[in-house]
């Protein structure tokens, strides 16, 4: 499996608090809460990517 498959396709900054608040359940989150959730999602994405890279070779 090529590593290029696992590289982010989105420009940096695409996923921000405004984007997150467009989803049901996140509309009333403060900027700080939304940023905290986004950081958790980034960490989860990194974990998943590392796992796929290790098991895909």
Task: Give the pLDDT of residue 20.
Answer: 94
Nearest in space to 34 (alpha carbons), one of 23, 50, 49, 47: 23
Task: Give the pLDDT of residue 1.
Answer: 45
Whether 45 shows a pLDDT value over 90: the answer reads yes
pLDDT tens, residue by residue, 6-24: 555 555 668 899 999 999 9
Q: What is the mean pLDDT of the chain?
A: 83
Torsion of CA 4, 6, 10, 13, to 10 degrees: -120
Task: Give the pLDDT of residue 13.
Answer: 61
Q: Tell me which DSSP letter residue 15 carries.
A: S
């Amino acid at each position: 499996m090529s590593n290029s498959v696992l590289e982010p396709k989105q420009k940096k900054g695409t996923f921000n608090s405004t984007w997150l608040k467009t989803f049901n359940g996140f509309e009333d989150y403060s900027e700080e809460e939304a940023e905290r959730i986004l950081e958790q999602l980034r960490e989860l994405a990194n974990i998943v990517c590392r796992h796929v890279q290790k098991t895909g070779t």
